[in-house]
A = this chain, B = another copy of it.
Amino acid sequence: MSGVLYGVGLGPGAPDLMTLRAARLIEGAEVLAYPTLAGAASFARSIAAELIPANVREIVMDVPMSVARAPAQAAYDQGAAEIAAVLDQGQDVVCLCEGDPFFYGSFMYLFARLSEAYRVEIVPGVTSVTACAARAGLPLAARNERLTVLPGPLPEAELRARIEGAESVVIMKVGRHLPKLRAVIDDLGLTEGAVYVERATLPEEVVLPLAEAPDTAPYFSMILLTKGADPWL
């Protein structure tokens, strides 16, 4: 009997926003897996840190910083092979994922490589989308309102077109795209009411009107345009 690969969502950052199921799986884990970027510390691992048992084995997939896809593919290929070897011995592997594994998560790259040959269980997590809304005090969508999630790296023209026809909009992965996003939102007359959130639920969290946001944003930042959400009944 092969082991089970668990893709475990850990939520947006505050350790107590992980689910009871995620906590139980981590506390009982013998083998953990997670990616790192160019040797930097893993955000996912930091969320789970307090619960990680001593003597656990950790499979670290270090993804090099590169525009080319091949080096990252090689890192996931090698990680998948290491995980498969553990599963083949009947042992489970708990893969740590910030947020939710199937919502802009790198766990998908392992899922694609391993889900045909092995049992994979996804433990959904609180996404940064609802965490940012919670921290900003901004309802996202009610009744028959629509919600659109857009990644910040999209081209300016596409962002403009998608935001213009939308109700509530959430823009993920703001990072270095902040100036472009500001220009689009300004042009559309939506800066008033737009909210910038950085590292939601962590001690270093920032929540500001977009107009007062800093000039540089980290990858884990978001802009909320919730013109559609009407919390009144």
A residues neighboring B (CB under 8 Å): 9, 11-12, 14-21, 23-24, 69, 72-73, 76, 100-106, 108-109, 111-112, 115, 120, 122-127, 130-131, 133-135, 137-151, 153-154, 162, 229, 231-233
Contacts and interface: CB of A to CB of B under 8 A. Distances in A.
B115 A123 contact: no
Given A76-B233, A137-B120, A139-B111, A130 B102 contact: yes
B148 A153 contact: no
A122 B137 contact: yes
Given A11-B124, A14-B21, A115-B137, 11 more contacts: A15-B20, A17-B124, A76-B233, A102-B140, A103-B133, A104-B141, A111-B139, A120-B137, A122-B135, A124-B134, A147-B148
Nearest to A147: B149
Contacts of A127: 127, 130
A167 to B, nearest CB: 10
16 contacts: A11-B124, A14-B21, A18-B20, A102-B134, A103-B141, A104-B143, A105-B142, A111-B231, A115-B137, A120-B137, A122-B133, A122-B135, A126-B126, A141-B149, A148-B149, A149-B149
A17 B16 contact: no
Number of copies: 2
A133 B7 CA distance: 12
Contacts of A108: 139, 142, 229, 231, 233
A128 to B, nearest CB: 9
Contact of A142 (B104, B133, B143): B104
Nearest to A148: B148
Contacts of A24: 16
Nearest to A226: B102
Contacts of A229: 102, 108
Given A108-B231, A131-B124, A16 B21 contact: yes
